[in-house]
Amino acid sequence: MTVGAVLRLVRPPNVFTAFADAMAGLLVLWGIGLRVPDRACAVILASGCLYLAGIVLNDVFDREIDARERPRRPIPSGEVSVAFAAALGFGLLASGVAIAAWIGRSPGLVAAALATCILVYDVWAKHTRIGPLVMGSCRGLDVALAISTGLALDAPWPPIAVAGPIVLALYVTGLTYIARDEVDGNTTRRARTGLGFLALLAAGVVIALVVSPGLPRSGLAWAWVALALGLGWRNWAPVWHRHDGPSTGRAIGGGIVLIPVIDAAIVAVAGCPFWAVGVVSLIVPALILKQFFSPT
């Protein structure tokens, strides 16, 4: 077993999108005027552990399917043993929950819910109709995990603290739906259904920003939203006409890298448009590592 094989197992480009989720949640707290607890920054590490756990355990439970469809992956190729991968995955899962619980009771509970959601997806839901929704819920809970470091679960949450995680959860739901046939390519019906869902989500976000009295409407906030929508169109529009395996794979990889931009838009709407630059900058290491490791 080599270090390279382990890195290919954990797919390092993607973890920066999890860091972006956590950073976005912390900046939402700041944007709405709440104090960020001293220990709260550790939630970025907890988020990374939980995300990597989900990636590794996905390959553990999918090893028989991967042996047929992706035989070059580390587990089916024999480069990484099942026992090592399982120990790594469950170890990361436990570490993420433990770190969150150290921060506080509310993040500990959210992390436990996120870990449960990860296991439900990897063990069972992945191959069911609700799989995309479960995966989307994992992403939403990732942002909520950071927000919960400053907002108790039994306290009222401001609109952006609720809407931000929901928007990201729905985006990842659509992405996961389209990704279901990434290897052999999508049918026209599946591809266009997924794209239609993402288009409706984009329209719903714009309408909500216009009509919701509690959300900022600064020019910079709108600029971030426009950037996310523009890059989303550029990434996903080609799949409407070309949804073979390679085209779908490229769109899925680009769609994952787009997550920090969506996080940045959430931060901007929460009232921190300048700090959103720090969130979106996490795309840089993800793009660099994407040249060496597959994000899907």
pLDDT of 236-293, one tens digit each? Answer: 999 999 888 788 888 998 999 899 999 999 999 999 999 999 999 999 998 899 888 8
- What letter would DSSP give residue 12? G
How many angstroms from the chain centroid is the CA of residue 159?
Answer: 20
Instruction: Tell me the pTM.
Output: 0.94
Alpha helix positions (H), 237-274: 245-257, 259-270
Tokens matching residue 123:
């063990």
pLDDT of residue 77: 92
pLDDT of residue 226: 96
C-beta of residue 171 within 8 angstroms of C-beta of residue 136: yes
C-beta of residue 36 within 8 angstroms of C-beta of residue 104: no
pLDDT of residue 216: 61
In whole angstroms, what is the distance from residue 267 CA to residue 218 CA?
12
Q: Does domain 7-290 have CATH number 1.10.357.140?
A: yes
**HSE-CB for 153 with a 13 A CA cutoff:** 12
With bands split at pLDDT 50, 70 and 90, how would you rate the model's confidence at 183? low
The average pLDDT across 106-118 equals 98
How many angstroms from the chain centroid is the CA of residue 3?
Answer: 25
C-beta of residue 217 within 8 angstroms of C-beta of residue 209: yes
With bands split at pLDDT 50, 70 and 90, how would you rate the model's confidence at 17? very high
The chain-wide mean pLDDT, for the chain, equals 93
Give residues with Cβ within 8 angstroms of 293, minimum separation 6. Answer: 7, 8, 11, 12, 13
Percent of the chain whose pLDDT exceeds 90: 77
Tokens matching residue 237:
């529009």
Most confident of the following: 63-67, 227-231, 239-243, 249-253: 227-231
pLDDT of residue 213: 74
pLDDT of residue 90: 98
pLDDT of residue 35: 84
- What letter would DSSP give residue 38? G
Tokens matching residue 186:
């999508």
**Cα–Cα nearest to 198, from 190, 139, 213, 14:** 190
Which amino acid is it at 19?
F
Percent of the chain whose pLDDT exceeds 70: 96
